[in-house]
Amino acid sequence: MSYQLLKQDVLFYQRFLKANGFYTDILDGKWGPKTDAADAAFVQKSQDIKTRFGAVDSKSESNIITLIPAAQISARKFLNILTTAGKDIRILSGTRTYAEQDALYKQGRYGSTLPKVTNARGGQRNHNFGLAWDIGVFENGTYLGTDSKYKVISPMVLPQLPELEWGGNWISFKDFPHYQLKAVSESVAAVRNLFEQGTLYV
Ligand SMILES: [Zn+2]
């Protein structure tokens, strides 16, 4: 998703802004002056983080801007560690709004002949709260999808970034490209409740 899409789901974006201290008004899904001011403050904060940790490739930049500030900082540290180690790692996805997640869920269902891509609706994935990102491993400019290329990445970053959780350590479904900030609860439902109230969950 993109920053522009984040702004299109106004209720979602207000929750995101409120949980992270940029917005203090009611969550009404209407874009008014206070939402506008909160948006500007979030963009400025994101810019400050970028200045502090340095710019990365444009694909990663477009996804980092969709993460909450704490995750933006970790994602930039993550990329910096790997760049220093000579790796070409890019962040291929970040936040998905509920509307986007619901659209993905509909693919392959309700008469759609496309293949199913997810079993999660909006609010059922950590990607829906601005915490998580998925990486792509590149070599000589080419994207690589083999698990082994992803398994070598986590030991390079996790010791230095203890705030992160890696999808490759999950028991039920191993998600090797997935990284996220550890939330206050391992329960996605609990995180969702906090997010929807506009309360911080990391
Ligand atoms: Zn993921």
Chain segment 167-187, per-residue pLDDT in tens: 999 998 899 999 999 999 989
Separation of 157 CA from ligand 1 center, angstroms?
17
Q: Which CA distances in Å does 81 have to 43, 155, 158?
A: 24, 11, 10
- Measure 167 CA to ligand 1 centroid, in angstroms: 7
Residue 159: which residues within 8 A CB-CB, separation 6 or more? none
H/E stretch holding 37 = helix 33-53
Strand 178-181 relative to strand 164-166, pairing: antiparallel
For the chain, domains (ranges, CATH) are 3-95+130-197 (3.30.1380)
pTM (2 decimals)?
0.94
Strand partners, 165: 180
Taking only the tens place, the pLDDT of each residue in 2-26 is 788 788 899 999 999 999 999 999 9
| Å from CA of 110 to ligand 1 middle | 25
Asked whether the predicted pLDDT for residue 1 surpasses 70, the reply is: no
Ligand 1 centroid from CA 132, angstroms: 6
Q: Which of the four pLDDT bands, split at 50, 70 and 90, describes residue 119?
A: confident
pLDDT value at residue 80? 98
